[in-house]
Chain A
Amino acid sequence: MHTKRINTPLDHRQIAGLRSGEEVLLSGVIYTARDQAHKRLAEQIKKRVKLPFVLKGQAIYYCGPTKTPKGKAIGSCGPTTSKRMDEFTPALLKHGLKGMIGKGSRDKEVVAAIKKNKAVYFLAFAGCGALVSKYVKSARPIAYKELGPEAIYELKVKDLPLIVGIDSKGKDVFEKYKHQYKTI
């Protein structure tokens, strides 16, 4: 079976067919945003200020890359823990965000918001920043540059290998292990 190829911007047709657990290769433009960028985006949505990029149909990558070595498109750039973005995610989805890329599980509210807005959450190879950098063709900061690695970068990726974590029907790949993750 061939691995499915998908492209950004994401549309309903591409997303509807994806199933949790499935492997895909993603190409096109994605935007990095992590903690501080999420806080700012959520604030700007609340204040109805124009966002630094149009969220509709786009995918956000939870990533803060290292500095870019000479001669490379980007430095090490693996995913960061998605859970920390959970409190800001439903507002972004409501605003048209279609895809998220990160590592690890999400909370119930995010799963519900993904289902409601027919979006998708992908997992990238966790702790493999050097490997992931091979699929990034270009990178440039487009907003919040003063945040350094937490700025929003526009990345062009080619065939970035991902696993569908939560599909548009709200099916969560981590669901079957959830009973084991009791809190202390």
Chain B
Amino acid sequence: MRIIKAEKIKNAVAQLCLKANFSLRPDVLSALKSARAGEKNKRAKSILAAIIENARIAKKERLAICQDTGLPTVFLEVGQDVLIRGELKSAINKGIEEGYKRGYLRNSIVPDPLLRFGPGYSPVVIHTDIVKGKRIKITVLPKGFGCENKTQLKMFNPTANTEEIKRFVIETVKSAGPDACPPYIVGVGIGATADYAVLLAKKSLLKTIGHRPSTIDPLTAKLLKEINKLNIGPMGLGGRATALAVNIEKYPTHIAGLPVAVSISCHALRSASVLL
């Protein structure tokens, strides 16, 4: 049994908030740079250059990459041989509050979804997995709501083919259109239950993007190719770069169904992890 103090978790979470919000993920930054290099549309190229410049300024001046610092989602992988001394949930929420206050990040969370009064920094959404071992992995994903609002779930018949799934993913990207800060990173969750498919779609956004097409599965490659023919482009003003990547997570499912969820991320896909 290994003891980890809640205080240590709180401090780690606060650090992750700053890292995620100030420093764009290296894989996302390099995907943006390749998109700029591959873009023929002049306006699209210059918007991509502005997005890259934004990331540079944010990191250098410790400013939030985007003013929408999200409703942070925290993913925990807790080793079953870990004993947490102190209160885990409150340590995470306190860590978020501390990090967000220290970084002058935005208090976007309203305590009551209907009354919508008095925005604060917490509570955040926490997903916990119990895993083997004696370590804790913490990931903070401050996903903005412009793109969160474009999330879709569809319960397909188990006899549906991949063509139908492809069409659903593409229609979801089309309906996001110019509104949710393209170029997007398209997260797809296939299988499990309705709730879990949505979680899988979001979780897939944590996977490193920008692998060579030959190393990704054929469905991913096809989807990316077709999405990038839509000519939505950066800011929706046309261009090749409608999506930087498509990430798919699958899970076994029931004989009677085939849930498919799409979680779209804006180009400012921010996340940071630490292993304690």
Is the pairing of A and B real? yes
A interface residues (Cβ-Cβ under 8 A, vs B): 36, 63-69, 72, 75-78, 80-83, 103-105, 123, 125-131, 133-134, 146-150, 163, 173-174, 177, 180-184
B interface residues (Cβ-Cβ under 8 A, vs A): 47, 50-51, 53-55, 57-58, 61-69, 101, 104-108, 116-119, 146, 149, 152, 154, 168, 171-172, 174-175, 177-181, 230-232, 235-238, 266-268
Q: List 21 A-B contacts (CB under 8 A).
A: A81-B146, A81-B149, A81-B179, A103-B178, A104-B179, A105-B236, A123-B237, A125-B50, A127-B65, A127-B266, A128-B50, A129-B65, A129-B66, A130-B58, A130-B63, A131-B53, A149-B67, A177-B178, A177-B238, A180-B231, A184-B172
Q: Is the CB–CB distance between A184 and B152 below 8 Å?
A: yes
Docked complex Cα distance between A137 and B47 (Å): 23
Docked complex Cα distance between A72 and B63 (Å): 10
Among A105, A125, A147, A182: residue with most chain B CB under 10 A: A125
Q: Is the CB–CB distance between B181 and A67 below 8 Å?
A: no
Q: Is the CB–CB distance between B106 and A66 below 8 Å?
A: yes
**Residues from chain A with Cβ under 8 Å of B119 in the complex:** 147-150
Among B51, B54, B57, B67: residue with most chain A CB under 10 A: B67
Distance in angstroms from B119 CB to nearest chain A CB is: 4
**Residues from chain A with Cβ under 8 Å of B54 in the complex:** 125, 127-131
Q: Chain A at the B interface: mostly helix, strand, loop or mixed? A: loop
Distance in angstroms from A118 CB to nearest chain B CB is: 24
Q: Is the CB–CB distance between A105 and B63 below 8 Å?
A: no
Docked complex Cα distance between A80 and B268 (Å): 13
Given A126-B181, A182-B171, A75 and B104 touching (CB < 8 A)? yes
**Residues from chain A with Cβ under 8 Å of B67 in the complex:** 63-66, 75-78, 80, 129, 149
Q: Is the CB–CB distance between B66 and A67 below 8 Å?
A: no
Docked complex Cα distance between A46 and B162 (Å): 51
Q: Is the CB–CB distance between B50 and A66 below 8 Å?
A: no
**Residues from chain A with Cβ under 8 Å of B58 in the complex:** 76, 130
Among B57, B231, B266: residue with most chain A CB under 10 A: B57
Select one of A78, A127, A133, A180 contacting B174, CB under 8 A. Answer: A180
Docked complex Cα distance between A72 and B51 (Å): 21
Q: Is the CB–CB distance between A149 and B107 below 8 Å?
A: yes
Given A76-B67, A163-B237, A127 and B106 touching (CB < 8 A)? no
